[in-house]
Structure 1
Amino acid sequence: MEDVKKLSNSDLLDKMAKFRPIAFFGVLAVFAGMAIIITYKLHFAYILVVGIPFIFVARKFYKYHNEIQRRHL
């Protein structure tokens, strides 16, 4: 895994832009999942199908996002 502190500013912004829509839908999936759990009690189906993949992608996005915030870009 690459160190985000060693990336140039343009590379960092490009990588963050790549993951931005997926992270956005990941956050929406969490709220949709809460509604599904409350309504249909499908805890494990939601966690396996929606929650886990989006959490990994959102973690990658926020790794780049935090470095951009640190650099004040």
Structure 2
Amino acid sequence: MRWWKVIGLAGVAGVAATGVVIARAERRRRAYTPDEIRARLRARLEETPKGETSGGTDGGTEGAGRAR
């Protein structure tokens, strides 16, 4: 086997491994229901002190009802 074939096979294996990592992360991200995500975001908002929120005066929840 020539060296360029080994490099090519290593490249293919690297691309496949990257695809597996991306697919696993996507599956983990989509495992949450919208209600779970909403609850987690609200809990994080409650943990932040009022002075550290960015955005408007309502704690950064502007546009929260516009999610698709």
Question: How high is the TM-score relative to the length of structure 1?
Answer: 0.33
**Larger fraction in helix:** 1
